[in-house]
Amino acid sequence: MASDPLTPYGNKPMVTPIVNAVNYEYDSFEVLRQITDGEIDGYTYHRDDNPTVRSVEKTVAAMEGAEDCIICTTGMAACTMVYLTYLNAGDHLILFHDIYGANYKVSLILERLGVEITWVEATADGDISEHVKPNTRMIFCETPSNPLCKVIDIAALRVQADRAGAMLIVDNTFATPYHQQPLSLGADMVVHSATKGLGGHNDLMAGAVAGTKEHYNKLWFTRQAIGTTLDAYSASLLERGLKTFDLRAETMSANAQAMAEFLHGHPKVTRIIYPGLPDDPGHEVASKQMHKGFGGLLAFDVGEAEDDAKTFINELKTIYHAVSLGATESLICIPFLTTMLSLPPERRTSFGVKTNTVRLSAGIEKTDLLLEDLKQALDKV
């Protein structure tokens, strides 16, 4: 039998090899049977599995305290795979307004397929009991949320999900497993846009769903059927990013806390949302379910109008005007004009986003450089 591609010389390389093979030769029909019956680890075709991808799946699973994890092409592919795997026509899905905007597009497809959807407001206590129905099958939330960094009590949602016999899915992209472990708080599965903090370098797209082995098997079937398996090179980039993940997450959280404290009470900042601030509505719950800081994202309103926010961003020198988040560089954008474009204009502002709201993702730059950049840009508003 051919040697294991991850240990080609009998000793493990420091970097998982990038296995670009689409298909694999079988040593015998018996080996083929053992692979396809799941008796041994092995590979047949890239859409089924890939050793480089499988390696990073096990790493992310361990980070989330999960039995297993399935990696796919994007964060939205991860969300969509969860919906398609567990929802049927006639089922009721509860979504929170303040989740990543592209979920709105997917919701339109789900409604066309016969799934009933209710959008609810994100509040710290997580009380959505008035929206739960006999046919509620799934509650999907993000905490802290995108883009307003609202915090939802995961344990409280678990209680309500149990009463309805529904699944609880938590998007942990903003918090990352460094700060929050949703599975330990009662979530059935955790979803990530691994493009963001897990990858961390603005050079890959990937999604992840972590949970039990049973969930892995069901999601694997969906991934294999619709063809959302990640390519080996992106998996290698993701694994590389995870090697510095803890260091980056710690620094980003410290930078976000420092910038939030600087912006709090600034005369040009008319609202700031960051769970690390003691007077933030989500601070109490975040202090209970998050640890080692409050994440690298914050949202705030600049001045009174969209042009104020544009002027501020245009004057920034160290912080980059770009979408995405969780990168080594600090990134800032106006969600109304970028991440929420998939929503109708009236929906973008219905749950608290304003035309002058900015979302800031802290990077790993020196803190004093970031504070000075904020100060000089706000001085020009």
Looking at the annotation, which residues are catalytic?
Answer: 47, 100, 171, 196
Instruction: Compute the 3-state secondary structure of the chain and give helix, strand, coil in percent, each to the nearest 5.
Output: 40, 15, 45
Cα 174 to Cα 85, 191, 226, 359, 361, distances in angstroms: 24, 11, 27, 12, 9
DSSP labels for 110-170? HHHTT-EEEEE---TT---GGG--TTEEEEEEESS-TTT-----HHHHHHHHHHHT-EEEE
Q: Are 381 and 267 in contact (CB under 8 A)?
A: no
Q: Residue length, the chain?
A: 381
Q: Are 160 and 131 in contact (CB under 8 A)?
A: no
Q: Are 204 and 74 in contact (CB under 8 A)?
A: no
Fill in the DSSP letter of residue 23.
B
- Other Cβ atoms within 10 Å of 202 Cβ, number: 15
